[in-house]
Amino acid sequence: MSAITIAWTNLRRFVRDRTNAFFFVLFPLLMIAVLGLAFGGGSEPRLGVVQPATGALSGDLVAALEDADGIDVRHFDTRAEAVAAVEEGALEAAVVIPGTYDTRLASGGDTTLQYLSRSDRSAQQTGMIVRAVVDDQAGRLRVARTLHGELGGGFEPNLVRGDEFADRVADVAVSTTTVGSAPFPEDLGRFDLGASSQLLLFIFVTSMTSAASLIETRRLGLARRMFATPTRAATIVAGEALGRVAIAVVQGLVIMLGAALLFGVSWGDPAAAALLMLAFATVAGGAGMVLGSLATNVQQSTAVGLLAGLGISALGGSMMPLEFFSPTMLTVAHLTPHAWAADGFATLVRRDGTVLDVLPQLGVLAAFAAGLFVLGSWALRRRILAG
């Protein structure tokens, strides 16, 4: 029996399990979708506008809201419809313009706009934009009233006169400059940031939890039967090692291709991304082999694999971007392979890196993999020889 045959058998046995199939394919893609929709960029907050009045002033306000950067204006016929949309999450906020808006303002009176919003960050952002637009419209009205008091005449002619004067006044130019390099470029897709972290998380956790199959192989006597044939212990160890890596690589390919096709995720340079994934999958396979060789029973392997997989992944930046880590925690994070792989994917996705740019990360991951496979092979060989 060859090592490739043993590896293929392990991969086929793992994929055939329907429970494994869910965590192997569907759950990682679902998490990428959820994180992208919840925290990703690339979409503007939605503002509902209820405009029962059809006068020029309310039309100016709505037009200004539509022209404002950073919000997507949706129109509603009634306040109840807008409230329902906010409550259901279809809108971040809504502005209700009263029916007396135009008449009261034109006659010199005041009016009140209703602003309805959720309590999340997008709603707060929307609120700042709406306040800026409303303040600008209020400034126009104050100018028109001042002109009326000084020059007389009707309200609408003074409003037009004020707008013409404002057009002759130079706008205040505000420019924003990023010192150094921005951690998250503006063109980063809403699903791109979370995709690489979920890729690393699930490859590692799956490799750790699937290590229980090594124990099952020993418990069912499959290892002893293989060893009783002319198959050497080294071949069995190599086959089991290849099986661990094959599971991790196939899952990595499924996640990368699925995320690219379903969510348009960009992984950067294809060759470099494939090498990074392969290097990390080898590390994960080695970690799974170590756990499966040292654990004494399936329950212990599953529990330790899940806790260690989640814990090491969190420490390495697979649950929160490394850019948010303190300097001390960033140093600690780089004791894990996850941080090095995350750095590599950040170089590819955010800085258009190539294979040459991620050679340091590939070298460190290769060192992690070599160490883990040496330890795992030694431990598994001892288990096989001990019977």
* 308-319 pLDDT, tens digit each: 889 999 999 888
**Does the pLDDT of residue 304 top 80, yes or no?**
yes
The answer to whether residues 51 and 98 touch, using CB atoms and an 8 Å cutoff, is no
Largest separation between any pair of C-alpha atoms in the chain: 108
- Weakest mean pLDDT among 11-20, 33-42, 188-197: 33-42
Strand 93-96 versus strand 114-117 pairing type: antiparallel
The sign of the torsion formed by the CA atoms of 19, 20, 23, 29 equals: negative
Give residue for tokens 């750095």.
Answer: 343
- 98-107, 353-362, 377-386 — which one is most confidently predicted on average? 353-362
The answer to whether residues 289 and 241 touch, using CB atoms and an 8 Å cutoff, is yes
For the chain, the domains span 3-39+190-386, 46-168
**Does the pLDDT of residue 219 top 70, yes or no?**
no
pTM of the model: 0.65
What's the chain's average pLDDT?
80
Amino acid at 53: A
The answer to whether residues 126 and 92 touch, using CB atoms and an 8 Å cutoff, is yes
CA 233 to chain centre: 43
**Does the pLDDT of residue 255 top 80, yes or no?**
yes
Give residue for tokens 């005449």.
Answer: 153
Between CA 321 and CA 287, with CA 291 as vertex, the angle to 5 degrees is 45
* Alpha-helix runs per DSSP H in 180-269: 192-209, 212-219, 222-228, 233-263
How confident is the model at residue 155, as a pLDDT?
A: 64
Confidence of residue 295 (pLDDT cuts 50, 70, 90): confident
CATH number, span 46-168: 3.40.1710.10
The answer to whether residues 116 and 86 touch, using CB atoms and an 8 Å cutoff, is yes
Residue 22 structure tokens = 């869910």
108 Rama sector, left if φ>0, alpha if ψ -120 to 50, beta otherwise: left
Residue 201 structure tokens = 């998380």
> Cα(354)–Cα(268) distance, rounded to whole angstroms?
8
Angle between helices 359-386 and 233-263 (to 10 degrees): 140
DSSP secondary structure letters along 281-349: HHHHHHHHHHHHHH-SSHHHHHHHHHHHHHHHHHHTTSSS-GGGS-HHHHHHHTTSHHHHHHHHHHHHH
Share of residues in the chain with pLDDT > 70 (%): 77
37-50 pLDDT per residue, tens: 665 555 678 899 99
Confidence of residue 321 (pLDDT cuts 50, 70, 90): confident
Strand 46-50 versus strand 93-96 pairing type: parallel
How confident is the model at residue 320, as a pLDDT?
A: 82
Amino acid at 366: A
**Does the pLDDT of residue 280 top 90, yes or no?**
yes
Amino acid at 47: L
Please compute the mean of the pLDDT values over residues 41-60 and round it to a whole number: 78
Question: What are all long-range contacts of 58-67, with beta carbons under 8 Å and residues at least 24 apart?
Answer: 58/97, 58/101, 58/102, 60/137, 60/140, 61/97, 61/101, 61/133, 61/134, 61/137, 62/97, 64/133, 64/136, 64/137, 65/95, 65/130, 65/133
How confident is the model at residue 124, as a pLDDT?
A: 81
Confidence of residue 352 (pLDDT cuts 50, 70, 90): confident
Beta strand spans in the chain (E): 46-50, 72-76, 93-96, 114-117
**Does the pLDDT of residue 362 top 90, yes or no?**
yes
> Cα(168)–Cα(227) distance, rounded to whole angstroms?
90
Q: Which helix (H) or strand (E) holds 159?
A: helix 155-168
Give residue for tokens 């999340």.
Answer: 120
